[in-house]
């Protein structure tokens, strides 16, 4: 009997949709110019990028100017956290995250420590979930960001974000449930989460590797 392999890692990466592959082939064959150039090939490439930006914005329910394309989830996580820490810094210096975050989040925490930021890394229970009461105890008036992975693509654990406590009153404290992976599966929830800044992992819903659209909140500075 012939063995049939079943792929079960779609939460991490999916096979690109045939329509997406066809579009990518067209872009690489005909619209390959430098989008910063003023010649025809460059203008065509620029138009394709801006059309993609508009489509992502419609999907997420925001304006196109709030969409920034990055090269992957790790780059997007770095960009979002560092921008919120530095470009929008208001004196608060505490980052709260969890022990099961992606290395791109934990490494940013290590980097921020070098510049005087305090990083609280919460433990999780046997289901891989942050305990709401421990998160509540960790939040102080000095907290500028809570960054916790909403859905773990390896274990399937979903964080009980609806039961998480509120953040300190006033401007300057942000919450990012880091929905890189679940964005294509829980879109209505994701739209409620992205009032600040957040990456959206396109490879999790039949898009090619090598790009992650990142939405940043209205009124926030974006510091590449």
Q: d(Cα 128, Cα 118) in Å, to the nearest integer?
A: 23
Residue whose structure tokens are 């990456």: 199
CA dihedral 35, 37, 42, 43 (to 10 degrees): 90
Cβ–Cβ < 8 Å for 69, 214: yes
Cβ–Cβ < 8 Å for 217, 82: no
Which regions of the chain carry the CATH code 3.40.640.10?
68-216
Tokens encoding 213: 């659209």
The confidence score (pLDDT) of residue 176 equals 56
User: Among the residues of the chain, which ranges form H helices?
Assistant: 18-30, 40-60, 73-82, 103-113, 132-138, 187-193
Report how far apart, in Å, the C-alpha atoms of 109 and of each of 59, 78, 104, 118, 132 are.
31, 10, 9, 8, 21
CATH topology of domain 68-216: 3.40.640
Q: Are strands 143-147 and 174-176 parallel, antiparallel or unpaired?
A: parallel
Grouping H, G, I as helix, E, B as strand and the rest as coil, residue 103 is helix
Using 50 as the pLDDT threshold, list the residues of the chain that sit under it.
169-173, 177-195
Q: Diameter of the chain by CA atoms?
A: 66
| Residues sharing a CB contact under 8 Å with residue 3, sequence separation 6 or more, in sequence order | none
The confidence score (pLDDT) of residue 202 equals 59
The confidence score (pLDDT) of residue 36 equals 94
Cβ–Cβ < 8 Å for 188, 60: no
The confidence score (pLDDT) of residue 77 equals 85
The confidence score (pLDDT) of residue 87 equals 72
The confidence score (pLDDT) of residue 164 equals 66
The confidence score (pLDDT) of residue 119 equals 95
The confidence score (pLDDT) of residue 63 equals 87
Best CA proximity match to 12, nearest among 212, 152, 186: 152
């Amino acid at each position: 009997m012939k063995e049939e392999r079943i792929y079960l890692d779609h939460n991490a990466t999916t096979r690109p949709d045939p329509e997406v592959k066809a579009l990518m082939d067209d872009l690489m064959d005909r619209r390959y110019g430098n989008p910063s150039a003023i010649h025809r090939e460059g203008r065509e490439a620029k138009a394709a990028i801006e059309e993609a930006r508009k489509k992502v914005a419609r999907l997420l329910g925001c304006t196109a100017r709030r969409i920034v394309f990055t090269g992957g989830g790790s780059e997007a996580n770095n960009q979002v956290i560092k921008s919120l820490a530095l470009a929008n810094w208001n004196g608060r210096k505490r980052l709260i995250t969890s022990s099961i975050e992606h290395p791109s989040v934990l490494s940013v925490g290590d980097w921020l420590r070098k510049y005087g930021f305090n990083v609280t890394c919460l433990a999780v229970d046997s289901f891989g979930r942050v305990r709401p009461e421990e998160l509540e105890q960790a939040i102080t008036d000095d907290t500028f960001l809570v960054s916790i992975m909403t859905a773990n693509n390896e274990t399937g654990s979903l964080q009980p974000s609806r039961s998480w406590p509120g953040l300190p009153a006033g401007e300057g404290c942000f919450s990012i449930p880091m929905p890189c992976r679940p964005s294509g599966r829980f879109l209505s929830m994701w739209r409620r989460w992205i009032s600040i800044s957040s990456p959206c992992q396109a490879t999790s819903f039949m898009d090619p590797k090598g790009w992650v659209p990142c939405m940043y909140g209205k009124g926030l500075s974006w510091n590449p």
